[in-house]
Structure 1
Amino acid sequence: MWLYNIGMDLYGWIIRLAASRHTKARQWIDGRRELFRRMAERIDPEARIVWVHVASLGEFEQGRPIIERIRKQYPDRKILVTFFSPSGYKIRKEYKGADYIFYLPLDTPRNARRFLDIARPEVAIFVKYEFWLNLLAELRRRKVRTYIVSAIFRRNSVFFRCYGGMWRQALEAFDVLFVQNEESKRLLAELGFDNAIVAGDTRFDRVAEIARAARQIDVVERFRGDSRLFVAGSTWGPDEELLVRLMNDNPDVKFVVAPHEMNPERIARLIERTHGGAVRYTECTPRTTYGAKQLLVLDTVGLLSSVYGYATWSYIGGGFGVGIHNTLEAATFGLPVAFGPNYHKFKEARDLVTLGAARPVEDYDQLRRWFAPLRDNEEFLQKTSRIAKDYTTRHQGATDIIVRTVFH
């Protein structure tokens, strides 16, 4: 444990040194400044706190169905949400489903004690991969009911290494480990943990709710007109290289491309290379006419999940980098999905590929060969769409299992 604590101290120093040059590091430091004072001023000492910790935005969306179910069924509880990453906190710091939203302090023994002295949670819920050893040890010492949800364990993870003793010990803090699959439950059983429950992934519940609450977007409706629409979400440069060629080879199809980062140079290059003409969402007004323009660049945040509802096909970016982004938001609308080759660590992507609802592509020729039959064969398109939709429907229900177990 001493090595872990040295690592935490070193991490804190590195972030401070980087803060002068890197925006995210500066936000990380600024967001934690006088954290305990701000917590003490805001958190009601008499409140019955349910604490939900997430790493960043993706884990927040994973925990959100649980937060909202608790809010609805147990209105006497106050909900505290903490983030580790500035990118998640910055976007969701005004989220109305929680009573208190803060950064998580650096995980040192002193910070863990101070944090829990102020928060005093009745229940602590960690989402997916969050294992903070000092906090977990302190929660266990205080006998706070503690859970991890939507977790996945793999044999090559630190828990199964010869040097993973302190990480295995940390798992003893959890009253129940809600895991996504049977393999995770079997691996935990090998370590002597019989308190794992296969609940599944709460993201299926979240995307189902997103689909039910999808917004009507006038710009997208008018842009699409009577054409069929291809939506590419969270794209990066290598994805856009392929998509430009697909657009130019399919002038009768309209495209919406939502870049993962609003890089002005990349967006300008994308627009310039699109033969059929393009327009940026942020430049559209009620008087904008789209005519034959083929590309709408979704250069804003918060709309992509609803835009999928207008589409016939989809592409998910990130697969030529560290990994693909959210495939379920597209699949829940029954969209066939394509993405780059780096998808293997995402179970839902592997499942969709196995079922035939998704296709990994390594180059433009593979993307073209995936798209052509889905464009030209309506029966094949409908069959593929049903597979995607049925998969997301079949895996819903994790939130019910978790909330029912935690608050039984």
Structure 2
Amino acid sequence: MYLLYDAILFLAALFLVPYYLLRGATRGKVRRGLGQRLGLFDSAQTQVLRGRKVIWIHAVSVGETRAAIPLIKALRKAYPDYSLLLTNVTETGHDIARKLPELDLCLFFPFDFSFVIRRVLTKIDPRLIVIVETEIWPNLIRFARQRNIPVVLVNGRISDRSFPRYMFGRRLLGPVLRQFNSLGMQTELDAERILAMGALPEQVVVTGNLKFDLHASLPGKDELDQLREDFCIDKQIPVWVAGSTHAGEEQILVDTYKRLIDQGRRLVLVLVPRHPERCKSVAEMLQAKGLPMVMRSVIDQRSELLRSGEILLVDTVGEMLKLYALADIVFVGGSLRNVGGHNILEGCLLKKPVLFGPHMHNFKEISRLVLEAGGGMMVDDAGDLLNALERLLDHPQERGSMGKRGYGLLSRNAGATERTLELLRAAQG
């Protein structure tokens, strides 16, 4: 099976690696980390790991990296003498990880070829491997098992979309799952699904969702004033932050924004595409519509405040919580189009009313809880979005109470970090 897996990976790489490099070149972007993805680390990169025990955490992209933050902080406190290494697949995830002070080293995740994984495990020599959410890499898991390195899945989830695909391949997947030391799942449904995929009952533990354990200090008035000054936003103008947006959503959002401005409302829209490399095409769309905008990367050069009707287009990463902090209303993308949604709890964390579309199948349980708590609103289409924004802009008190209810939801569901930490301790014996 593993020979076949390596052969399939090799054939895929023959097409995907050139495509990956060419796609970056056509967008004017230099792709990073190819050497690291082949397990070629220079001595300077791995110097920080030498002579210390290593915990290797893997989080594929931005969402998984942010979800892992509470656990990373807890690991830093629980294992002060260990080196913490985090790997990512995506460049945006890597950029987020590099800003976390608790980490000793951030690298790109190696290709799961047998020869690459053997090389990486020899160089890193981890005492524990922690995989965030549902990343199943057969060779990594197999060779770690051969070296008696515990491998634990944390914050695991099986989405409605992925479950049928996993079940289709469960005869091959089951033996791989059974090589994990433990599988920490977010919900009972996730636990039932991974058992159906071939995991053993003694491996599976429901630990809850790490996203409920996110922490952020709520800004005081002076700090909020400073944030608005940093982003050139007038203290008296309401701010609508639309985060993690995807193709097809920005048009709906900016058309809705224009309708609000045409009504005579004072408002600034902060638009944050999920993938910063899309900002160029989003900017072209805004220009075609005649909508004034400024890029976040050059806002420091601006001497005047953003006017009502202007758009701040965010082409940087790692500032989402700052942007949500200065928002009056938050919309979370990936939900008006059939993407599956993104983490709406970050808005709740900052006590903001959160709007999102109907396509939240990747965050099904979280969106249900937020709606039940009254911490957010689901909008089905552009008309619903306009009505919700009008209502919240006209009723500041409702915005405040909705934000408080969402924040309370986080407090009531906290605790996944400690349960996950116990799972990791048990895996190490």
**TM-score bin (small chain):** 0.7 to 0.9
State the one-letter code of the partner of 2:420: I
State the one-letter code of the partner of 1:89: H
The residue aligned with 1:288 is 303
State the one-letter code of the partner of 2:347: A
State the one-letter code of the partner of 2:256: L
* TM-score, structure 1 as length reference: 0.86
% identical equivalent positions: 23
The residue aligned with 1:124 is 129
1:370, distance to aligned residue in structure 2 (A)? 2.1
Q: Distance in 2 between matches of 1:305 and 1:165?
A: 42
Query: Is 1:228 aligned to residue 238 of structure 2?
Result: yes
Matches within 5 A, 1:59-138: 59-93=64-98, 95-138=100-143
Q: Distance in 2 between matches of 1:111 and 1:400?
A: 33
Query: Is 1:170 aligned to residue 176 of structure 2?
Result: yes
From 43, 46, 51, the counterpart of 2:51: 46
State the one-letter code of the partner of 2:411: T
Matches within 5 A, 1:4-403: 4-23=5-24, 26-27=31-32, 29-32=34-37, 35-36=40-41, 38=43, 42=47, 44-93=49-98, 95-153=100-158, 157=163, 161=167, 163-189=169-195, 191=198, 192-206=200-214, 208-209=215-216, 216-219=226-229, 223-250=233-260, 251-260=264-273, 261=276, 263-267=279-283, 269-270=285-286, 273=289, 279-285=294-300, 288-290=303-305, 292-301=307-316, 302-319=318-335, 320=337, 322-347=339-364, 348-378=366-396, 380-403=398-421
What RMSD, in angstroms, separates the aligned Cα atoms of the two structures?
Answer: 3.2
How has the CA–CA distance of structure 1 residues 253 and 79 changed in structure 2, closer, same or farther, with 3 Å as cutoff? Answer: same
Q: What count of residue pairs does the alignment treat as equivalent?
A: 406
Q: Distance in 2 between matches of 1:33 and 1:134?
A: 14
Q: Secondary structure in 2 aligned to 1:82?
A: strand
How has the CA–CA distance of structure 1 residues 159 and 247 changed in structure 2, closer, same or farther, with 3 Å as cutoff? Answer: closer
Q: Secondary structure in 1 aligned to 2:341?
A: coil
Contact 1:210 1:305 in 2 (8 A): no
How has the CA–CA distance of structure 1 residues 94 and 11 changed in structure 2, closer, same or farther, with 3 Å as cutoff? Answer: farther
State the one-letter code of the partner of 2:79: Y
Q: Distance in 2 between matches of 1:83 and 1:284?
A: 29
How has the CA–CA distance of structure 1 residues 63 and 281 changed in structure 2, closer, same or farther, with 3 Å as cutoff? Answer: closer
| Unaligned 5+ runs, structure 1 | none
Contact 1:334 1:388 in 2 (8 A): yes
| Unaligned 5+ runs, structure 2 | none
Q: Secondary structure in 2 aligned to 1:375?
A: helix
Q: Distance in 2 between matches of 1:314 and 1:157?
A: 30
1:62, distance to aligned residue in structure 2 (A)? 1.8
Q: Deviations over 1:33-70 (max 9, x none)?
A: 56155489636453211111121222122222222222
* TM-score, structure 2 as length reference: 0.82
